[in-house]
Structure 1
Amino acid sequence: MITRNSASKEWLDTVMKSYKKNDPGIVEKTIMALTLLEQLSVEGLDFIFKGGTSLMLLLDSYNRFSLDIDILLPDKPKNLEYIFNRICNNGVFKSWFEDKRKTPSDVPKTHYGFVRESVLDGRERAVFLDILYQEVGTRSLLRVPVRHRVIETAPPDVLVTIQTLDALLGDKLTAFAPNTTGIPYGTGKEAEIIKQLFDLGVLFDNLADLDVVRKSFVQNCMFELGYRKLDLSEVDVLNDCIDTAITLAYRGAYKREQFSYLMTGIKAFKAFSFNSSFSLEDAIKSSAKVAYLVQLMKAGKGRHEKFRETIDLRDVNITNPSWNKLKKLKKTDPEAFFYLFNALKLIEQ
């Protein structure tokens, strides 16, 4: 379990020694988000923990902060308010409230804030819980303990149910599609688009089973298109993903307005990456992985090629003049070039 010490100024100061370039307010909110997650489980709520924050529990190498908790429930429990009150009676959070923000289309979501006094300045701040009411379906799931280096824990562990890495990869693809099922351009949420891209790059590096990715994507895509009442197919969403990836790879030479939104997102996202390290080059590398993944899925492939430093790219060339601007990546970023080359090869088959 997370210790009470994790909520103290002394613990935050200790954690900040490892994240000197980050805003302590963001780190504090991450600690509180994980605390809220654990409390939901302790109080008996049966949920699936989803979203980027769940990657903090799955991967030691995951390098971004997350400020809220996303969970999935099949329907609203009758005792939900009772559970929230119990959490606030435990002493870390003072109170809770429903955040009646607008939800796009008919997405069945509710939002709640849990309030506590910040150890930084004594002001009241909220950590948010987003609940999506949706069938569990055929999601690939596992149970993991609530543990991370930003929190201090002691036995016994508290377990939560989360999607596997491959299931999350398929799930998150639908969020990196700004013109269809994802976070739209021009809404002031450009950093959220880049968060999805960052997560997709991390998840791709851990890709094990394309079939699980595909099933998760198809299921989530069906829900998201339905909520938005869009008469589109899964292929339309995949095409949106790859178009967004190529927009980044072309550095403004293709779809300049969309690229400017994405650059705004990259700059804003730096505050959430560990020690504020995320650049356009990092985004292009992740985009190359997304482009390759999308083409693998469109082609119905069951396996993928993985970049290795020892791969000889001297005779690997992009010959189609339509993609000439991507050639320079061979020298500047061999990994991004490798994945884009393989994506283009599948496009042209």
Structure 2
Amino acid sequence: MQSLSLCTIIAVNQKYCDNGVDIQAFDICDTEIGYRELDITPADALMDSIQAAICICSRGKSNEDDFPCYLRGTRDISQHIYVQGFSMERAALMAPQVIYLASCLLAGSAYTRVNDPQPYQKEKLIQPDMLIMKSLRRGSSIGYAYLVKADRLLTDYRK
């Protein structure tokens, strides 16, 4: 659900902003952590979001034990979402943007939209947890472009 909300916010902002979305000032993580009274850092929460999105995007090839929960949750919540045809397939297509958004928040970078995915198609993924999604290059060029952008941010962040 949070992924859908974030993707909707990004889409609306990109419609009205030529330069993408400046997310550096969003206090998303601190708010969510405070609401849930968790003993974790914002970086922990963002990494958890990235791992969840990787699981969804890879359709359970990563964190396979968690996938049935995400699948069940997507089915349960699809009845309450006013987006036509929300499904695990749609969630999987949104996941690369969520991974990129969370990576931007971790790295303190501005979110910029991919207008032309072609330049990213020759790029290779570096991070081990991202490699599982390399087949996206053939299936969704725009999704792969966002994965490449996230991969570069995570590579710099993890150094």
In structure 2, the residue corresponding to 1:272 is in which secondary structure? coil
How far 1:347 sits from its partner (Å)? 1.1
- State the TM-score, normalized to the length of structure 1: 0.38
Q: Percent identity?
A: 21
2:93 match: 285
Rounded Cα–Cα distance in structure 2 between residues aligned with 1:275 and 1:286: 13
Structure scoring higher RCO (CA < 8 A, sep ≥ 6) equals: 2
CA contact 2:56–2:91 (8 Å) conserved in 1? yes
User: Does the alignment pair 1:305 with 2:112?
Assistant: yes
Rounded Cα–Cα distance in structure 2 between residues aligned with 1:294 and 1:240: 10
The structure-2 alpha-carbon separation of the partners of 1:278 and 1:314, relative to structure 1 and needing over 3 Å to count, comes to same
CA contact 1:204–1:289 (8 Å) conserved in 2? no
1:331 match: 138
Rounded Cα–Cα distance in structure 1 between residues aligned with 2:51 and 2:117: 27
How far 1:283 sits from its partner (Å)? 0.6
The structure-2 alpha-carbon separation of the partners of 1:307 and 1:271, relative to structure 1 and needing over 3 Å to count, comes to same
In structure 1, the residue corresponding to 2:132 is in which secondary structure? helix
How far 1:277 sits from its partner (Å)? 0.6
How far 1:317 sits from its partner (Å)? 2.6
The answer for unaligned runs of 5 or more in structure 2 is: 14-20
User: Does the alignment pair 1:347 with 2:158?
Assistant: no
The structure-2 alpha-carbon separation of the partners of 1:321 and 1:292, relative to structure 1 and needing over 3 Å to count, comes to closer
CA RMSD of aligned residues (A): 2.3
The structure-2 alpha-carbon separation of the partners of 1:274 and 1:342, relative to structure 1 and needing over 3 Å to count, comes to same
The structure-2 alpha-carbon separation of the partners of 1:231 and 1:274, relative to structure 1 and needing over 3 Å to count, comes to closer
Rounded Cα–Cα distance in structure 2 between residues aligned with 1:314 and 1:284: 19
The structure-2 alpha-carbon separation of the partners of 1:338 and 1:224, relative to structure 1 and needing over 3 Å to count, comes to same
Rounded Cα–Cα distance in structure 2 between residues aligned with 1:269 and 1:212: 29
How far 1:266 sits from its partner (Å)? 1.9
How far 1:291 sits from its partner (Å)? 1.1
More helix by share: 2
CA contact 1:285–1:335 (8 Å) conserved in 2? no
How far 1:234 sits from its partner (Å)? 1.4
How far 1:275 sits from its partner (Å)? 6.9
The answer for unaligned runs of 5 or more in structure 1 is: 1-194
1:52 match: none
Structure 2 letter corresponding to 1:294: A
Say which one has the larger Rg.
Answer: 1
